[in-house]
A = this chain, B = another copy of it.
Amino acid sequence: MPADEFDVIRSLFAPLATHASARGLLDDVAVLEARGALVVTTDAIVEGVHFLTEDPIDAIAKKALRVNLSDLAAKGARPTGALLTLIWPDARPAAEIAEFARGLGEDLRRYDVALLGGDTTSTPGPLTVSVTAFGKPLGERVPSRADAKPGEDIWVTGTIGDAWLGYQALHGDWPEGEIMHHAAAIARYRLPAPRVELAQTVARCAGAAMDISDGLAGDAAKLAAASGVALFIEAEAVPLSNAAHAWRSAASSYGRLFHWGDDYEILLTAGRERRAEIEAGGAAAGVQVTRVGVVEAGAGVRLVAGDGSLAVVGDPIGHAHKLGR
């Protein structure tokens, strides 16, 4: 894009950067005044890998922020600030950047996050948005993937598999006659709902915790490996939306509901004495929290169906499996 576009861009994003640390986006750095622990995460989304070219540009902006807020929530942290690196394709109309900034601004306000700075450059390739987000831990410790202990319950927030369904729906792969949940599934794919309102409960109750961004089966396997434990999960206890139930009935299979990712729900473990507190936390936040299994001694993940057979084998599934790649 021409050099004066960069001035245009700054004029679009500067009004979002009202925090003193951002220096009005006029400087090359942000200056944070930090006290105590600071949780930092960074996640990038790439056109054709994490979102589709034709996804609405304001939803792309929001997704880039939200996937990072999801990481913070799963660590029991409240988001405070973010850096945005916007890598804009030469071939995409620069006029869309205003709509990108508008969507981002909505979410910065919604989640009370300060835009602290960033970088803008052009690319001959796909739209790529990298966000670094900062958060303040709400508890004494920041639960890691490595903190699960045998005997703990396994919990999952929200419902699993809807983002995959949304992706299927966008590609016309949807059971005949089952149109009721079509739009809802697409919305879940395009716009995850990071569980920021559960961060306090995670901070108070979780042993291990992580967000589910690469599929329940794969992420559970990562947690099991990091903690040196086995996870036993009852497939039929895993919370499904009505859309996913309908899909499963029509397809007679879990498909990739547990394997695909982009759920941006929280997987956590907690001692049995925390059950009432976790349920109360979910109820207060208006978010479903479901006990799906138990941590055991051993290794690996068993996702077991009602008849005792393995529903899926829980080996790590990465981004590579997204979008059929």
A29 CB–B CB distance under 8 Å: yes
What are the interface flags for A69-108 relative to B under an 8 Å C-beta threshold, 1 for contact and 0 otherwise? Answer: 0011011010000010101001000000000000000000
The residue from B29, B37, B128 contacting A31, defined by CB atoms under 8 A apart: B37
Proximity bits, A27-50, B CB within 8 Å = 1, else 0: 111111111111111111010111
Does B317 contact A3, Cβ atoms closer than 8 Å? yes
Which residues of chain B are within 8 angstroms of A87 by Cβ–Cβ distance?
Answer: 44, 46, 128, 130
Measured CB to CB, the closest approach of chain B to A148, in angstroms, equals 13
Q: Closest residue to A7 on the B side, CB-wise?
A: B316
- The reply on A132 being an interface residue by CB < 8 A is yes
* Chain B CB within 8 A of A255 CB: no
**Chain A interface, number of residues (Cβ within 8 angstroms):** 69
Given known pairs A50-B121, A124-B126, the reply for A320 and B29 (CB within 8 Å) is: no
User: Looking at the complex, which of A138-146, A156-164, A294-302, A303-311 is the stretch in contact with chain B?
Assistant: A138-146
A1 contacts across to B, CB distance below 8 A: 320
A231 within 8 A of partner (CB): no
Q: Are A40 and B30 in contact (CB under 8 A)?
A: yes
The reply on A180 being an interface residue by CB < 8 A is no
Residues of B within 8 A of A2 (CB): 318, 320
Distance A31 CA – B210 CA, assembled complex (angstroms):
14
A23, A32, A40: residue with the most chain B Cβ atoms closer than 10 Å: A40
For A32, give the chain B residue with the smallest CB separation: B38
Chain B residue, CB-CB nearest to A48: B124
A319, CB-defined interface residue at 8 Å: yes
10 A-B pairs with CB atoms under 8 Å apart are A3-B320, A6-B319, A28-B75, A31-B39, A32-B39, A34-B34, A40-B116, A50-B121, A87-B128, A121-B319
